[in-house]
A and B are shown apart, each in its own frame.
Chain A
């Protein structure tokens, strides 16, 4: 089940030179309990993606769904089901099956198609996702947080949080660690007494390898690694379901970095939280993530199980990117596999954005933008290698 799902998410920025398509049509899901790694080079839109999902910046278009709950299954012949969902309006049979399962649809409910195997049903603020499986349709209840206002968003702020790259600028130099943890706990009414609050703070600091005495410290009295641990503690103290980690170790020394990763791993178990781990450090993401998404110029080019993608990358960009990564082994040296540079996102190449740098590029690649489609147990956006029977 998904904790977060995006459908055709777009975030464009207007600049003097034109429109920057920072996130361009990204559909992905974060499964409950997993760590989804997002890698890509600078300017590929990975940070913008993380912030847009949390609605820290407003999406240009597309949908963000949060906290999917499985409601019921419909045992149906898939062909029949398809016909039922692709008619305009709600088919009486579908309406009936909702009713049987105690989810009554109003006369205004609307069905819209999201991709070949899933549909959404909107009804008076409630959103259902209907996904086709082998012999059934699975119906999920989700919260569509795309359009809701800041007031309503507040209750979701507690459930989703972010840790930024630079802990120095993420902490207020005039506030102690206590203040940093106190504020979110008070705003969201997480505790009923001062006693309980302190216990909670100390517990979370301990999880992050810090002690109660750190509560009275100011940021300048902490080392870089300790500051980042405070940032993570602050993000975790509301017991969120979903955490975006945006390059959380890039500003730290390697010996400190591995410690933070271990603490994050431990916190994930303890608080039952799902991570979206954004980084340009591919070796790092490989170690921490269950699934991996590779971005290039605002688009996902490949997404799948981390071990699969690493063992046998399919998209030419993924291949080149992985081969460019220096390995800490002097016997395995790299031969600069990618030529050229990432083009400007203001004026991306026509067709497949990677085609000008791609050694396998054909006419179709320069003409049409490839869709992200299922193949080899993952999703790939490539005209040449994205199909299993090529």
Chain B
């Protein structure tokens, strides 16, 4: 699994349940459970291999400071007994200024930056008094408060309503434009990907199936899985009769199929797919695909 997030880019990582997208992001920050073994590879951030850093260095200098993460359910990420303002102030005191009044002023600035109405009011509110969309924006404000350069967002809008989701995505896009923020955006929603991402990586069974610029993914998908994924999203096809389905279900990774992991569900599969794992091939500028028969996929 190799993936690059460039500066000022929103990189979408998409896949279905259990394809390994969250594990990828947790590995980046060294947040995996104790029973996880990293068998090899590197996580390079500005040229430094994060996997070689000590836990203490990671905590003090990388997490929050350089890379931040937000999760699907903001209500479990915030502390219920502190107000929203106090929680953001904590990261400011840690990373920027320990002057109390200045810290408070900075918090209000951050709340304003993520477009929360009436920052003074929100500052005093406890998480349970805020809606999901507001909480998720508090999480972003917290991240901005530590001046992170890379945001890893793991399904940040799955728990939000569409109108709130649209507002939230707008905030992320503006931050990208104005502050040159880089984002690794993890989701299972093809429509959200098309909405916000510059580059997309499609994962299947713990591996990359295809990676390309967002227009290429939608207009010229070359992996049968990407194609199936796009055509099973309502909105592309308006009539149920025309919906394409991908037969079968996502394989369990305890005992994945040999060769190409997608072959049991693939309409293009032939003998070679069962035997040989396809390499990620270059097919066009920034467009890579792992399929033996990508030339036949239309």
Contacts and interface: CB of A to CB of B under 8 A. Distances in A.
Interface string A247-266: 00000011111110110010
A326 B161 contact: no
From B162, B228, B243, name the one whose CB has the most chain A CB atoms within 10 angstroms: B162
Interface residues of A, number: 44
Contacts of B184: none
A286 B234 contact: yes
| Interface secondary structure of A, over-half rule | loop
Interface in B178-199: 188-197
Contacts of B197: 330
A280 B191 contact: no
Interface residues of B, number: 47
B166 A253 contact: no
Q: Which of A261, A262, A321, A324 has the most CB of B within 10 A?
A: A324
Contacts of A328: 190-191, 193-194, 218, 230, 233, 235-236
B161 A255 contact: no
A41 interface: yes
Contacts of A225: 249
A265 B240 contact: yes
Contacts, number: 132
Contacts of A341: 131, 133-134, 163-164
A16 interface: no
B240 A338 contact: no
A255 B194 contact: no
Contact of B163 (A255, A281, A324, A330): A324
B103 to A, nearest CB: 27
A330 B196 CA distance: 8
B234 A338 contact: no
A326 B194 contact: yes
Contacts of B218: 328-330
A153 interface: no
Nearest to A223: B249
Interface string B222-253: 00000011101111111111011110011000
Interface of A: 41-42, 223, 225, 253-259, 261-262, 265, 280-284, 286-288, 320-321, 323-342
Interface of B: 16-17, 117, 131, 133-134, 161-167, 169-170, 188-197, 214-215, 218, 228-230, 232-241, 243-246, 249-250
